[in-house]
Structure 1
Amino acid sequence: MKTILLTISILLHSLAPSVSVSKQDGPGEVIYRVHSIYIYNFIKEIQWPDTYNNNNIVIGVLGSPEMETELKKMAAARTTSSRKITIKQFKSVAEVDKTCHILYLATEHSDGLSTVLQKVKGSSMLVITNKDGAAKFGSLINFVSEGGKPRFEMNLSAFEKSHLKYTQQLKTVAITVN
């Protein structure tokens, strides 16, 4: 049992490396930074179909200028498999299209999840939300807080429909939802 807990602890630390926090950062900035680190690690732990692997990784953000800012900082500092990461901002659900690998829906746009899922149906887009219960309604990954610590839920049936493949390591550290 100790070995399993140690392994899970190591996996969690590898998925969410330490975050630098300054005295000027408020709690919102810290959580956006943590979420951007998670998203970067999701890129490494998820495999898109071959047709999605011929250009940059595109992360769309619906709402949340703060999250967009953190993702842009992350994208400027990192690449993955020699592919650049670009950020695309959407101001409304109506603007969302299928050009992204990942779409982050800010909490204030979570009510539009069902519309977004209809718009991207048939694509292999990783839809990420940040609202309690959103994984049960079709979000592939949903950020949650458990015991005051950031965690994430994975909707396994939504992953299957999206044709995205995830590593066992990612599944191991997630809270799974069907």
Structure 2
Amino acid sequence: MYRRNFYQSIIGVFLFCSLFSSQAQAQANIYKLHSLFLYNFTKHIQWQEVGNEFTIGVFGNDIALKEVKSNFDGKKFSGKDIKVINIAGVGDANSSQLVYFPKSNKGKILDLFESADKSNTLFVSEDDFIVNGMPIIFTVKADKLGFRVSKSNLDASGLKISSSLLSLAEVVD
């Protein structure tokens, strides 16, 4: 009896771990795709001014941070090094040219976004914050990843988007 319970417990732990592992891997794959989109955004959006390096901030998600760092490792933006940082607060967001908000606590995202200086910074989110001023959000329709652009929110930040990137987006205004 003891042995049977022991084996059932081991099997239960194994199933739990494999379920958690597959969910974590699926989430990592989504963040990998998002990071590829982010890279293309850097190639098709014009910033007014960039310092010595181009900084990308990722808010509140270690898995997303790891995937974005991995994708941007060794890449350049207009000949400048790209640095990927974890965003802990408004100061980090204000020193970034691109800020990515993976799915997490909506309240914290809105607080940080509303407090941040939006000029010359591209904000991208998984959550639908277009009405709150977010320039770009990721969308999933019929199992296809896409993105929605608010042209007015993008213009308000002083950024210019290429017509080729805009043609791939769902434009909301």
TM-score, normalising length: structure 1: 0.77
1:158 is aligned to: 153
CA distance in structure 2 between the aligned counterparts of 1:122 and 1:37, rounded to whole angstroms? 23
Pair 1:32 & 2:37 matched: no
1:67 is aligned to: 64
Pair 1:125 & 2:121 matched: yes
Deviation at 1:122, TM superposition (A): 4.9
TM-score, normalising length: structure 2: 0.79
SS in 2 for 1:108: coil
Alignment gaps of 5+ in structure 1: 1-22
CA distance in structure 1 between the aligned counterparts of 2:91 and 2:51, rounded to whole angstroms? 24
Kindly provide the amino acid, as one letter, of the partner of residue 88 in structure 1: I
Alignment gaps of 5+ in structure 2: 1-21
Change (3 A) 1:173 1:34: same
Asked whether the equivalents of residues 122 and 162 of structure 1 are also in contact (C-alpha less than 8 Å), the reply is: yes
Report the structure number with the largest CA radius of gyration.
Answer: 2
Deviation at 1:168, TM superposition (A): 0.2
Count of residue pairs the alignment pairs up: 152
Q: Taking every aligned residue pair, what percent have the same amino acid on both sides?
A: 23
Asked whether the equivalents of residues 47 and 120 of structure 2 are also in contact (C-alpha less than 8 Å), the reply is: yes
Partner of residue 137 from structure 1, selected from 132, 137, 150: 132
Q: What aligned pairs does 1:1-178 form with structure 2 within 5 A after superposition?
A: 26-49=25-48, 52-91=49-88, 93=89, 96-131=92-127, 133-178=128-173
SS in 1 for 2:123: strand
SS in 2 for 1:53: coil
Q: CA RMSD in A?
A: 2.1
Change (3 A) 1:84 1:150: same
Deviation at 1:149, TM superposition (A): 0.8
CA distance in structure 1 between the aligned counterparts of 2:72 and 2:28, rounded to whole angstroms? 16
SS in 2 for 1:124: coil
Asked whether the equivalents of residues 136 and 177 of structure 1 are also in contact (C-alpha less than 8 Å), the reply is: no
